């Protein structure tokens, strides 16, 4: 069962190798020659302790990378993330129930591990010596971890002073060479693409089509967890647009393979200050206009998303929508998710804030079934949480703050504090 790279613009086909764009400049996607695939195979592997099928990515090997030799697979294992719901969450967004799929439960704390296991395994298959990425933090943490496991050199390009500390700590600790670019993520992305071409670094941003293949597993796993019953909607935060692209491809293939017969609608949610995809959608244009991004959700502070063309196709094909939410809405939604004991980083909460908005607008009906993807762990960005609860984020009100109380070291002060309402 072979796979090939195909240009989404001109249709040119290539052998899968060290190439990330078509000669025409277009993005490449992986096209598989699928064998017979059925739900039962994936159900039988549930709960398996045996690598690589114990992974929530490699469980679906036949639809992610059918041809790779399992000896080349580098897996932690990833995926197998939980679906949660909580009455307070449903109430907050105005639905009977809201489920969240917590991708922050992956080994390095974000969904990136699902793409990275596939990308790094390809790097091993190809025998590359060094891997690289640009990142708002999570990609660099994930790549650094997988490269360390595979014994491959790793270089990460990050915007100086703009990534959350949990993520920087990971990249440094896992031993990546960390290059802090003076500029934003989009500058780092431009430089890493040039560097990978000229300096022989294997690029592992989501422009690498194998990353998208791995991220498809979020959809397969979520639908399998629901007994192969797709929800009506899937909401996802949108930055560089890898996930939005991957979700559309996963749904297209799941239909083609007969795994599902109903296609959920994708709601792709951007931060208001970093919303080039939303603007493209609203204007009904065909070409994305880059912008200078600004948002408290540093993970999605991206003004020139690489995968916008694939993402646009995903939203259109699933009759989905693109929307935007403010920093206030993001931080308030995060406080609710956190307060349910689930917890997520700011960017993740964009999906929940987006659903609330879409319910308010009547785009999502109150009886519809919705799954939000939480993309990263709360501990990735502890500063954002502490700043929200202590009221130190500029321009963001503490709507649901849980303020720390400073007291003297005596029992009377404790008693007073216990009586006080937060």
Q: In the 8-state DSSP scheme, what is residue 21? A: B
Q: Parallel, antiparallel, or unpaired: how do β-strands 3-7 and 28-32 relate?
A: antiparallel
Sign, CA torsion 386/392/394/400: positive
Report if residue 241 touches ligand F0G, rule: CB under 6 A: yes
The least CB distance from residue 203 to ligand F0G, in Å, is 13
Pair type for strands 177-181 and 99-102? unpaired
Query: Is there binding between residue 235 and ligand F0G (CB under 6 A)?
Result: no
Tokens of 109: 């704390």
271: how many CB neighbours lie within 10 A of its CB? 30
375 contacts ligand F0G (rule: CB under 6 A): yes
The pattern of x and - marking residues 306 through 325 that bind ligand F0G according to CB under 6 A reads --------------------
Of residues 74-133, which lie at the interface with ligand F0G (CB under 6 A)? 110, 112
How big is the site for ligand F0G, counted in residues (CB under 6 A)?
Answer: 22
Distance CA 347, CA 376 (A): 8
178 burial (CB, 10 Å; 0-12 / 13-18 / 19+) is middle
> Please, which residue, 3 or 136, has the CB nearer to ligand F0G?
136
The smaller minimum CB distance to ligand F0G, of residues 370 and 374, is found at 374
Smallest gap from Cβ 270 to ligand F0G, in A, equals: 9
**Measured from the CB atom, is 54 or 326 closer to ligand F0G?**
326
Q: How many CB atoms lie within 10 A of CB 369?
A: 18
Give 187's contacts (C-beta < 8 A, 6+ positions apart).
159, 181
Candidates 306, 266, 91, 76; CA nearest to 185 is: 306
Residue 275 touches ligand F0G, criterion: CB under 6 A: no
For 189, left (φ over 0), alpha (ψ -120 to 50), or beta?
Answer: alpha
Query: Contact between 347 and ligand F0G (CB under 6 A)?
Result: yes
Shortest approach of ligand F0G to residue 269 CB, angstroms?
10
Give the C-alpha separation, 95 to 77, whole Å.
34
Q: Which of 293, 270, 313, 283 is nearest to 27 (CA)?
A: 313
Cβ neighbours for 127, distance < 8 A, ≥ 6 positions apart: none
Q: How far is it, in rounded angstroms, from Cα 105 to Cα 269?
A: 21
In the bound complex, what is the minimum distance in angstroms from residue 238's beta carbon to ligand F0G?
Answer: 5
Q: Which residues pair with 202 in a beta bridge?
A: 131
Tokens representing 324? 């935007």
Pick 136 or 208: Cβ nearer ligand F0G:
136
Assess 376 for contact with ligand F0G (CB under 6 A): yes
Q: Is 29 in the site for ligand F0G (CB under 6 A)?
A: no
Residue (3 or 244) nearer to ligand F0G, CB: 244
Interatomic CA distance for residues 154 and 145, integer angstroms: 9
Residue 32 CB: number of other CB atoms within 10 A?
17
Instruction: Give the shortest CB-87-to-ligand F0G separation in angstroms.
Output: 25
Shortest distance, position 194 Cβ to ligand F0G, whole Å: 17
* Smallest separation (angstroms) from ligand F0G to the CB of 173: 16
Q: Which of residues 280-309 bind ligand F0G (CB under 6 A)?
A: 299-300
Q: Select from 3, 136, 304, 314 the one that contacts ligand F0G (CB under 6 A).
A: 136
* Residue 139 binds ligand F0G (CB under 6 A): yes
Q: How far apart are CA 386 and CA 9, in angstroms?
A: 45
Q: Which is nearer to ligand F0G, 52 or 159 (CB)?
A: 159
Which DSSP string do the residues of 6-19 spell out, in sequence order?
Answer: EETTT--EE-SSS-
Among 52, 77, 107, 137, binds ligand F0G (CB under 6 A): 137
Which position among 3, 135, 225, 324 is part of the footprint of ligand F0G (CB under 6 A)?
Answer: 135
Joined together, the tokens standing for residue 44 give 């039988």
Among 62, 332, 345, 369, binds ligand F0G (CB under 6 A): 345
Asked if residue 192 binds ligand F0G (CB under 6 A), the reply is: no
Closer to ligand F0G by Cβ: residue 231 or 276: 276
Nearer to ligand F0G, 52 or 239 (CB): 239
Which residues sit at the interface with ligand F0G, rule CB under 6 A? 110, 112, 135-139, 237-244, 299-300, 345, 347-348, 375-376
């Amino acid at each position: 069962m072979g796979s090939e790279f195909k240009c989404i613009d001109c249709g040119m086909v290539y052998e899968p190798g060290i190439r990330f764009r078509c000669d025409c400049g277009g993005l490449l996607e992986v096209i598989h020659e699928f064998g017979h695939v059925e739900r039962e195979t994936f159900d039988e592997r549930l709960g398996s302790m045996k690598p690589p099928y114990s992974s929530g990515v490699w469980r679906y090997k036949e639809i992610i990378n059918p041809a790779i030799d399992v000896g080349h697979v580098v897996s932690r294992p990833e995926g197998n993330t939980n679906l949660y719901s909580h009455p307070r969450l449903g109430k907050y967004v105005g639905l009977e129930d809201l489920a969240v799929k917590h991708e922050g439960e992956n080994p390095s704390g974000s969904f990136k591990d699902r793409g990275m296991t596939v990308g790094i395994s390809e790097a091993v298959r190809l025998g590359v010596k060094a891997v690289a990425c640009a990142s708002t933090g999570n990609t660099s943490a994930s790549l650094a971890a997988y490269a360390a496991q595979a014994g491959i050199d790793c270089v990460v390009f990050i915007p100086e002073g703009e990534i959350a500390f949990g993520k920087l700590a990971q990249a440094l600790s896992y031993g990546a060479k960390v290059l802090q670019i003076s500029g934003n993520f989009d500058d780092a992305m431009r430089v890493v693409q040039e560097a990978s071409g000229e300096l022989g670094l294997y690029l592992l941003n989501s422009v690498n089509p194998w990353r998208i293949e791995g991220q498809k597993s979020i959809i397969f796993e979520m639908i399998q967890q629901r007994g192969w019953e797709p929800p009506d909607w899937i909401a996802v935060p949108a930055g560089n647009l890898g996930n939005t692209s991957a979700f559309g491809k996963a749904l297209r293939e799941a239909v083609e393979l007969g795994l599902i017969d109903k296609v959920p609608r994708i709601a792709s949610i951007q931060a208001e200050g970093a919303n080039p995809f939303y603007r493209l959608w609203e204007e009904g244009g065909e070409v994305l206009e880059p912008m200078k991004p600004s948002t408290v959700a540093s993970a999605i502070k991206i003004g020139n998303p690489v995968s916008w063309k694939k993402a646009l196709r995903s939203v259109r094909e699933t009759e989905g929508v693109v929307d935007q939410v403010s920093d206030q809405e993001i931080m308030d939604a995060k406080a609710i998710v956190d307060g349910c004991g689930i917890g997520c980083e700011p960017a993740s909460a964009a999906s929940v804030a987006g659903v609330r908005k879409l319910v308010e607008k009547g785009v999502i009906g109150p009886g519809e079934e919705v799954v939000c993807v939480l993309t990263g762990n709360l501990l990735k960005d502890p500063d954002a949480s502490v700043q929200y609860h202590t009221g130190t984020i500029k321009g963001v009100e503490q709507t649901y703050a849980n303020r720390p109380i400073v007291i003297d070291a005596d029992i009377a002060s404790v008693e007073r504090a216990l009586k006080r309402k937060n």
